[in-house]
Amino acid sequence: MCGIVGYIGKQDCVPILYDGLARLEYRGYDSAGIAISDHGQVHVVKAEGKLVQLKPKLSQLPPGASRGIGHTRWATHGVPNTVNAHPHIHANVALVHNGIIENYLPLKQQLQAEGVVFASETDTEVVLQLFVRELARLQHPFKAVLAMIPQLRGAFSLGIILGEEPDAIYAVKQGSPLVIGAGKGEYFFASDAMALVSHTSRAHFLSDGEIARITANSLEIWNFAGQRVEPDFVELDISSSSTEKQGFKHYMLKEVHEQPRVMASMLKRLVDIEKATFNDQELGLNTLDLGRIDSICMVACGTAYYSALLGKYLIEPAVQLPVNVELASEFRYRKPWISKNTLFIAVSQSGETADTLATVKQAKQAGCQIMAVCNVKMSSIAREAHVTLHMDAGPEIGVASTKAFTAMLLAHHLFGLAFGVRKGLVSPAQARLACDLMRELPARMDHALDGKVAIEALADKYYEANNFIFMGRGTSYAVALEGALKLKEISYIHAEGYAGGELKHGPIALIDRHMPVVAIAPLGPYHEKMLSNIEEVKARQGQIIGVGSVDDAQLRRLSRDFIACPSSEDPGLQAILSVVPLQLLAYYIAVKRGTDVDQPRNLAKSVTVE
């Protein structure tokens, strides 16, 4: 989604802003721009497409300016083109925006009636024109910001520079995230801490309803009521090397390969495998009032939602409480009945997904205990929740989520087990067995990655397919959903995931000799049932790609192609292992099709608008 960067200090701001935008590229965008202020004059360059399109235009900016703002735009109102790209500029003011102004139309009509002529189709230009109007009236930039804000409805994080006020820059946060980094005699700000880490590790996360006036040597913050707020600086713990590709062709491939290490470090932090005990503090259990919880509601979007679907299979039997799983975008508007005794678990890699964040606020208002399962420590959802189970999987840059998915699964699994232990429902012997199986997880995952050569060869065979079906049962059902999502996200092949038992209720009509069907059929309680479902597909000439245990002769016999995957007796750990070959299959098919694997078309990493 849209990304904002800003700089004020003594250095030439253009390379800093460009580098910041490059670090936000992963969020997804379709045009970009930079505005600077030089000798009382604001200048702007913008380009449709990727940052490489913007780069040659940078030389049009006067050199040496030490204050500016930049933006990557993910189109909402108006097509992606240069005119609609930010920064928008008028009357020597430049403005960038992340969010959506819900009442932009009446505001635009009102401004047009007053004679304002709009250059773009964006909601953002309305904000700029409102600001310029208030500035003309009040002759004071801060007062103009304060006067403009109550007129806006929706989400609006802003960066503003004015030619007339050469030593300051304004940042406003409402909805979409904004973080300010402090250097020596300079400040940076961005939608995402990732854009700051090569410059500073000292940062203040603006809260909703805050305005910052930033100069090279000072940071002043007010709330929307005009009262001063003291900045609260924290140390960022992202290293700039963790945001590099480290020799891999794509971030996605790097992140797929990081999974064994992520699993190992999560286990180290959250479990004592030798003693078969859990770190209740880090798992959130010490903070929650466990006795009050009579049900659990897990809410998320995208891959995080599929992790939650799988989480239900793991947590419900361990804690013997009903676990309801919902899409955040549906939950927030369907007038859900929320009991205060429900434990509300918001699952989000970024911790910024607008719909998920909205449900957290809703559930908080209903009096629920809120737990976040997040990968970004200071994210909005983590800060809003009563307690956060941090995944600590490290920055995930590839738009298609991989290591965050498996980290979420492990987090749900450990939470369920530890809560079950606290309720006396998971016995010491069961905890012991679970821990013994977990000990094997990182090595088995490494082994799953060894299958990549065979999977790459398989991709050669299937990359021209127009459709794919993925099927699984039990915890493999959510794996099938996630496998299909990975494929469609990065290869643009139409793919659907189904529960094996559902196939005959419709999807089987799609099966013919052209349809590849990825059947996730690990050994275990669902194995026989899956084999029957596979037979049904095979009888209709579907091309079975079996994913299962290396010594599963039956599955091999039924499969046209076979992907051997390491096994685990634990269905949660099995799901973590089974998804790895599907990530690799999607990756290699996408590479063969020549798509932009890390930044697939139309997608955004962090969906900060609803």
Catalog residues that contact ligand G6P under the rule CB under 6 A.
Answer: 301-304, 348-350, 353, 356, 399, 401, 603-605, 607
- Cα–Cα dist 550/541, whole Å: 24
- Cα–Cα dist 481/499, whole Å: 9
Closer residue to ligand G6P in complex, CB, 122/303: 303
Closer residue to ligand G6P in complex, CB, 360/503: 360
CB of 506 to ligand G6P, least distance (A): 26
Q: What are phi and psi of 576, to 5 degrees?
A: -60, -40
Closer residue to ligand G6P in complex, CB, 353/568: 353
Closer residue to ligand G6P in complex, CB, 47/382: 382
* Residue pair 315/408 in contact by the 8 Å Cβ criterion: no
CB of 27 to ligand G6P, least distance (A): 9
Based on the number of CB atoms within 10 Å of its own CB, is 424 exposed (0-12), middle (13-18) or buried (19 or more)? exposed
Residue partners of 184: CB distance under 8 A and separation at least 6: none
Distances (CA, A) of 411 to 344, 356, 390, 472, 589: 15, 18, 8, 22, 29
**By Cβ distance, which residue is nearest to ligand G6P?**
302
Q: What are phi and psi of 182, to 5 degrees?
A: -105, 125
Question: Could you confirm whether 605 is annotated as catalytic?
Answer: yes
CB of 508 to ligand G6P, least distance (A): 29
- Cα–Cα dist 228/238, whole Å: 29
Closer residue to ligand G6P in complex, CB, 351/566: 351
* SS3 sequence of 311-368: HHHHHHHHHCCCEEEEEHHHHCCCCCCCCCCEEEEEEECCCCCHHHHHHHHHHHHCCC
Alpha helices (runs of H) in 217-276, residue ranges in sequence order: 251-270
Closer residue to ligand G6P in complex, CB, 452/605: 605
How many residues can be counted in the chain? 610
CB of 10 to ligand G6P, least distance (A): 36
CB of 321 to ligand G6P, least distance (A): 24
CB of 52 to ligand G6P, least distance (A): 22
Closer residue to ligand G6P in complex, CB, 32/400: 400
* Residue pair 519/543 in contact by the 8 Å Cβ criterion: no
CB of 185 to ligand G6P, least distance (A): 35
Strands (E), 447-542: 467-472, 494-499, 516-520
- Cα–Cα dist 530/552, whole Å: 13
Alpha helices (runs of H) in 189-233, residue ranges in sequence order: none
Question: Could you confirm whether 423 is annotated as catalytic?
Answer: no
Beta-carbon count within 10 A of 148 CB: 23
Strands (E), 305-404: 323-327, 342-348, 369-374, 387-390
Distances (CA, A) of 121 to 345, 381, 467: 38, 31, 36
Task: From the candidates 2, 368, 374, 565, give the one annotated as an active-site residue.
Answer: 2
CB of 327 to ligand G6P, least distance (A): 10
Q: State the pairing for strand pair 467-472/387-390.
A: unpaired
* Residue pair 28/82 in contact by the 8 Å Cβ criterion: no
Closer residue to ligand G6P in complex, CB, 418/604: 604
Closer residue to ligand G6P in complex, CB, 272/596: 596
The dihedral sign for the CA sequence 602, 196, 47, 597: negative
- Cα–Cα dist 411/390, whole Å: 8
* Residue pair 208/175 in contact by the 8 Å Cβ criterion: yes
Closer residue to ligand G6P in complex, CB, 212/575: 575
Q: State the pairing for strand pair 271-272/234-235.
A: unpaired
- Cα–Cα dist 600/442, whole Å: 29
How many alpha carbons lie under 13 Å from residue 48 in its C-beta half-sphere? 8
- Name the residue type at position 485: L
Q: State the pairing for strand pair 31-38/41-48.
A: antiparallel
Which tokens in the block code for residue 363? 């559930």
CB of 375 to ligand G6P, least distance (A): 8
Task: From the candidates 173, 452, 486, 605, give the one annotated as an active-site residue.
Answer: 605
CB of 472 to ligand G6P, least distance (A): 19
**DSSP 8-state symbol, 62:** P
What residues are labeled active site?
Answer: 2, 605
